[in-house]
Structure 1
Amino acid sequence: MVRGGILRVAVVGGGPRGASAVERLLAVHAQRPAPAHDAVASPGGRPAARAALLEITVYDPFSPGPGKVWRTAQPRLFVMNTQSFYPTLIPSEPGLAPPLAGGSFDAWREAQRAAIDAGTCTLAAEEQAELKGLESRDFPPRALYGRYLAQTWDAVLAAAPPGTTVRHVPAEVARVGRTPHGFAVTCANGRAQEADAVVLALGHVPAQPSAEQAALADAAAHLGLHYLPPAAPADVDWDRLPAGETVLVRGMGLNFFDVMAALTEGRGGRFTEGHDGRLVYTPSGREPHLVAASRRGVPYRGKADLDAYYAPSVELRWLTRAAALAARQAGIQPSFDQDLWPLLHRDTLWAYYSTLARVEPAAVSEGFLEELSAALAVEGPGWEPRASEVVHDGVVPARRLDLRALGAPLAGWHAADRAELDARVLAYLDEDAAGSARGEDDPVKMAIAALHRGRAVLKEAVADGGITEASWVSGLRGWFEGLAEGLASGPPAQRIRQLAALMRAGIVGTVGPEPRFWVDRSARSFTATSPWVGGPEVRARWLVEALAPANAVARADSTLLSGLLADGLVRPRFLAGADGVPQPATGLDVTAPPYRALDVNGLPVEGLYVLGLQLSAVQWGTAIAAEAHPFAAPGEAHDGAPYPSGQRTLRDADAIARHILGVTS
């Protein structure tokens, strides 16, 4: 209920998503006509006296804009996983309320460089030095992106329209409860404030340990071992790890590369270019000996060296937006495995073999591409055996694509010992780095580029019940997500080159695929081994979990989320698997956009909105930074459509702002 002509909105979480909510509230409010004395409006559209004033309170222990993840004081060695031209806090999508200030990170980068040249830049000397060498296709330090977020936040607040106020409460919210007039937002220090509407923009929250992790931590505490649970790398004191000692690292995804950087370059080691084009690592002598493990036994593949987010030469011929959305528009709920994946599979094969025919014409027979195109055009399930036959007859065996094997390159292979294993992993890393350098001339990287482009279409097609629950659970999240993440969400290629140099220098080794971890109490050590690798197991007194904390609301180690669940104000979403048995999904149960939380009885909680990661049960892969200028994406001229999924989070924030402010157009 709006009282005293003031609409009070609480935004819980001040990172990029919370900042987007504030930016959209201000932008939408600026479009509203001045309210008449007896005009009506309300949060969520409920009848109430229209508020002439908008008061926004942002709750976060860290500074709004960067929040915790992008805070500007973190190590400069931690870089983004996207290039400078990619991210933005400010939307450019047509139809949204016009921004009041700010632009994309790349526009900010160029403006700051111009200010440096003019001698008017106010950034710290270290940040100015980074900007001087940072081009549009480079991967910026996360701390520098945090500076962009901080300055954009300041610019948005400076442009706030009359009748609005924004204040920051530097505290964590412990509880959000209902009151007769709206909500009470209570901080960890016990202070409570009222709000008419609440936006939960929580971002990453800590997760409760799994049973195995709890057992490892307990054993470490009793045996004098050192166990570092899953955490953001910027939150860990890496100086604790002793030089020269073996450290087991579980996980070879994106967090692993931060661990690697912190314990090598971060301790004074240096990478230089070798005469053979490979990197050479010169140790400082302060590094520990890292032994890394993951289910696949190898890290994520590195990104291809491109000047664009999507490879311009890769065009989706089958998984177009029109094809992906056709079933939904016809009122049919498709299956991922049966309806969507076959389209993307065709595009992946075509991207690989059309590139192969261009760069290695001797690897294919005359007329191969024409025969493949005809096979891929076959309707129904018959296309796949026909395409396999064409490939078998028209491609030399060594150059045939095994898409699943790309994601598990060590599957089925036995190593006599870890020396043989590391030699093979090193060869894999060198080839992956070389493929990244070849860019659009590498068939494997272009197959991955098709997967990457296809994800942008899938994100839109599967959102909000776009596919069956069973195929969401067993197909999209069951097998495809892991494959796509390992292939298309990898680190900058430079990180792969650095890892190879560290292996050659003896700083990093590996455990092997499908690793097993346990504590040897008699030896007082952590132990790791792989069933695919012979020789003795790896023993260490230190174990680092280089894994991102689980993004599952039911496992969240959060007083706020636990309280909301216990009070029945929110509930996890349940999805039925292939056996028809409902099981809790990772995110909250919400209405259709704008996303209002559903309570324990399945009823919408008016005025309580969800934005970002906790929407993971109704959105797939949309919880990353918003993409700048997604409406000029290359390669979509065939159906004339952009990728709306690129700015989905910003569009969600705009929809929430309109709903709170009672604006319908």
Structure 2
Amino acid sequence: MRSSLVIVGAGPRGTGVLERIAANAPLLYTGSGLDIHLVDPHPPGAGRIWREAQSPLLWMNSHAEDITMFTDDTVSMAGPVREGPTLHEWAGIDGRTFSGRRLQGAYLRWVYEQAVAELPPQVRVHHHPRRALRVSGSREGRQQVWLEDRPRPLLADLVVLALGHLDADPDDEQRELSAYAERHGLVHLPPDFTADSDLSALPAGEPVLVRGFGLAFVDLMVLLTEGRGGRYEGDTYLPSGREPVLYAGSRRGVPYRSKIGYDWSGERPPLPRFLGPAQTDELLARPRGFDFRRDVWPLVEKELGFAHYHRLFTTHPERTALSWPGFEAAYAAADPAGRAALVASAVPDPADRLDLAALDRPLDGLSYTSAEDFQQALRDHVERDLARRHDPRYSPDQSVFLGLLSVYGQLVRLGDIGGRWHGFFSYLASGPPGPRLRQMLALSRAGVLRFVGADMAVAAEGGVFRASSPTVPGVVTEARALVEARLPQPTVERARDPLLRELYADGAAATPDGLLAVDAADGRVLDRGGRPHPRRFALGPHTDARGSGAFTRPRTGGPAFRQNDATARSVLAFLAEPAGRAVA
């Protein structure tokens, strides 16, 4: 009997697992035949988010040279390295290009096709363009994967859930806002993937409140401006007249930081230094667990500071008052208060010091007497950010970015560490391309975009939505439309994906934040007693081993690659053992 593996989700994660199976199979798989069933209603490779059938106005959020689906020798994994082209090498485009998502979808389709072509001849791949509804079966026997509009299940020796980003039912607040909108004839768009949202209900010329200032907002901004016929002439936006007026705010009240616009040169910081495998092992070994704010964040701060000052002292020594060896030794030995005093004495210009709190909350303690004053102040903030992020004199910012990647590689091992870290990482390391922020400035000058401020509050009252912020006390904006510009946060209980909900109802464990709990070693799904399921695996943002959500940059270790490899090797080892083969 041929063995059977079902992979639910044929997007980048499912494709990555398939690539690792192809790389490891010649050494690990000795069976006579294996059928791999890919279950996804969307195209293999690209999946839903990166499908080629979407607006050509939507860009990738990374330079084409910083996107790869292939491993290299920086990835700490047991399987063989199979190098391949980055997006820019494959497409033959400038590496500094922010390519369209359609092109990324084509790249992912090609990666999928290459992985299939490299599988041994006894391994066959079958794509089922349907949704998977549930998985049943005992721990000891074959699993049944039930598909939409198919009366008989797929039989599987093993199942890998690579579900990707999922829709979620609204929480209590969103349900109340939607109900209020329905009663009063308003428009409320809850968290969603912007490319899939129906924006036609947002009327031209009318105010629209937008809560969220990250990447979902950038997509919304593009589709409601250029997507409605507006265009740019240099730094000037020429409206079509069909745009709404966007009133945007968030917890921080500012857009994500710009992508860095210069190339790295010289020595890289020797990372990890203060948050590496040894420190992660020690945290995981604590019998009573650990607290992120108390136990992990101080290590994160110290690591990012080390990356910043290593670059400053070794590349811009004229802006420092100590030698690097002396500073490094004192920095390593000092407590947080001592490090602050050390930095104050050794780095004369405050602009050269790393202040994570100020970076994270730039509007804290600031208030403006009028909305117009704040519009100009926020435009000035964005202009300063753009100037700094495109000026190699401030290359310690790039070093902090590398530090963030290093830290993320360790935090993935710690499991579900809460959403605040992921938001902080995205804000500093995964902001929009510089040209998008320049478009934002042009829209602001044209009056199409208005800034609300930090800690934006939305009230549903008086038959409308009202927005306010302590950044501009006393100013209230009324609108008949509210858009939540952020991605859904699916939990095992609120995910619209029936498979995930059924899995949880069947006894799978969840973290306090509602993520599916998996074994850190190879992604096996854990039950509520902490036992790994021998035949079910899960990878991706719906699990507590989630990564950053971004594509891997070449030569950065790629935690997702390491996870994919571990899962693929466990799958192949299981199927290679006669005792692990199909049991009725």
Q: How far does residue 332 in structure 1 lie from its aligned partner after superposition? A: 5.2
Query: Which one of the candidate residues 192, 203, 211 is aligned to 2:172?
Result: 211
Distance 1:389 1:25 in 2: 50
Q: TM-score, normalised by structure 1?
A: 0.78
- Aligned position for 2:158: 197
Indicate the structure whose relative CO is greater, using CA pairs within 8 Å and at least 6 residues apart: 2
- Aligned position for 1:73: 53
- C-alpha contact (below 8 Å) 1:183/1:198 kept by paired residues: yes
- Aligned position for 1:425: 378
1:182 corresponds to 2:137: no
1:54 corresponds to 2:34: yes
Output aligned runs, 1:117-266, within 5 Å.
134-178=93-137, 181-191=141-151, 192-266=153-227
Aligned identity (percent) is: 34
Q: Decide whether aligned partners of structure 1 residues 540 and 28 sit closer, same or farther in structure 2, where only a CA change above 3 A counts.
A: same
- Aligned position for 1:497: 438
Kindly report the root-mean-square deviation, in angstroms, between the aligned alpha carbons of the 2 structures: 3.2
- Aligned position for 2:331: 376
Q: Decide whether aligned partners of structure 1 residues 363 and 92 sit closer, same or farther in structure 2, where only a CA change above 3 A counts.
A: closer
Query: Which one of the candidate residues 341, 344, 349 is aligned to 1:391?
Result: 344
Distance 2:37 2:268 in 1: 45
Question: Could you list the per-position Cα deviations for residues 161-198 of structure 1 after superposition, in whole angstroms to 9, with x for gaps in the alignment?
Answer: 21121111111011111157411111122432211111
Larger Rg: 1
Question: Could you list the per-position Cα deviations for residues 206-243 of structure 1 after superposition, in whole angstroms to 9, with x for gaps in the alignment?
Answer: 11211111111111111111111111111013343222
Q: How far does residue 290 in structure 1 lie from its aligned partner after superposition? A: 0.6
- C-alpha contact (below 8 Å) 1:588/1:614 kept by paired residues: yes
AA in 2 matched with 1:257: V
1:289 corresponds to 2:245: yes
- C-alpha contact (below 8 Å) 1:314/1:450 kept by paired residues: yes
Question: Could you list the per-position Cα deviations for residues 593-628 of structure 1 after superposition, in whole angstroms to 9, with x for gaps in the alignment?
Answer: 22211224433222111122233x2x3634432333
Q: How far does residue 452 in structure 1 lie from its aligned partner after superposition? A: 2.4
SS of 1:238's partner is coil
Q: Decide whether aligned partners of structure 1 residues 55 and 357 sit closer, same or farther in structure 2, where only a CA change above 3 A counts.
A: closer
Paired positions, count: 571
SS of 2:513's partner is strand
- C-alpha contact (below 8 Å) 2:250/2:455 kept by paired residues: yes
Q: Decide whether aligned partners of structure 1 residues 531 and 551 sit closer, same or farther in structure 2, where only a CA change above 3 A counts.
A: same
Distance 2:569 2:548 in 1: 16
- C-alpha contact (below 8 Å) 2:63/2:95 kept by paired residues: yes
Distance 2:145 2:94 in 1: 43
Q: Decide whether aligned partners of structure 1 residues 485 and 649 sit closer, same or farther in structure 2, where only a CA change above 3 A counts.
A: same
Distance 1:99 1:357 in 2: 35
- C-alpha contact (below 8 Å) 2:50/2:102 kept by paired residues: yes
Distance 1:330 1:548 in 2: 30
Q: How far does residue 328 in structure 1 lie from its aligned partner after superposition? A: 2.3
Question: Could you list the per-position Cα deviations for residues 140-177 of structure 1 after superposition, in whole angstroms to 9, with x for gaps in the alignment?
Answer: 11111001111222233234321121111111011111
- Aligned position for 2:581: none
1:572 corresponds to 2:510: yes
Question: Could you list the per-position Cα deviations for residues 439-496 of structure 1 after superposition, in whole angstroms to 9, with x for gaps in the alignment?
Answer: x3126xx24x343222332233334448xxxxx75xxx37544433322221111111
Query: Which one of the candidate residues 20, 44, 51 is aligned to 1:24?
Result: 20
Bigger shift: residues 604-613 or 649-658: 649-658
- C-alpha contact (below 8 Å) 2:494/2:501 kept by paired residues: no
Q: Decide whether aligned partners of structure 1 residues 313 and 542 sit closer, same or farther in structure 2, where only a CA change above 3 A counts.
A: farther
Distance 1:330 1:547 in 2: 32
Runs (5+) with no aligned partner, structure 2:
579-584
AA in 1 matched with 2:69: L
1:544 corresponds to 2:499: no
AA in 2 matched with 1:71: R
SS of 2:333's partner is coil
Distance 1:417 1:659 in 2: 66
Q: TM-score, normalised by structure 2?
A: 0.88
Query: Which one of the candidate residues 83, 87, 104 is aligned to 1:105?
Result: 87
Query: Which one of the candidate residues 634, 658, 665 is aligned to 2:572?
Result: 658
- C-alpha contact (below 8 Å) 1:368/1:394 kept by paired residues: no
- C-alpha contact (below 8 Å) 1:217/1:227 kept by paired residues: yes
Q: Decide whether aligned partners of structure 1 residues 270 and 90 sit closer, same or farther in structure 2, where only a CA change above 3 A counts.
A: same
Query: Which one of the candidate residues 405, 408, 412 is aligned to 1:459?
Result: 408
1:621 corresponds to 2:547: yes
Q: How far does residue 204 in structure 1 lie from its aligned partner after superposition? A: 1.0
1:407 corresponds to 2:360: yes
1:533 corresponds to 2:472: yes
AA in 2 matched with 1:25: I
- C-alpha contact (below 8 Å) 2:72/2:83 kept by paired residues: no
- C-alpha contact (below 8 Å) 1:319/1:343 kept by paired residues: no
- C-alpha contact (below 8 Å) 1:593/1:652 kept by paired residues: yes
Distance 1:601 1:353 in 2: 45
Q: Decide whether aligned partners of structure 1 residues 332 and 593 sit closer, same or farther in structure 2, where only a CA change above 3 A counts.
A: closer
Distance 1:140 1:480 in 2: 27
- C-alpha contact (below 8 Å) 1:59/1:171 kept by paired residues: yes
Question: Could you list the per-position Cα deviations for residues 541-578 of structure 1 after superposition, in whole angstroms to 9, with x for gaps in the alignment?
Answer: 1111111110433331221111111122x2213xxxxx
1:555 corresponds to 2:555: no
Question: Could you list the per-position Cα deviations for residues 327-360 of structure 1 after superposition, in whole angstroms to 9, with x for gaps in the alignment?
Answer: 6279955876566655553454466567778999
AA in 2 matched with 1:411: D
- Aligned position for 1:44: none
Q: How far does residue 591 in structure 1 lie from its aligned partner after superposition? A: 2.5
SS of 1:85's partner is helix
Distance 2:280 2:40 in 1: 42
Distance 2:347 2:263 in 1: 32
AA in 1 matched with 2:249: A
SS of 2:542's partner is helix
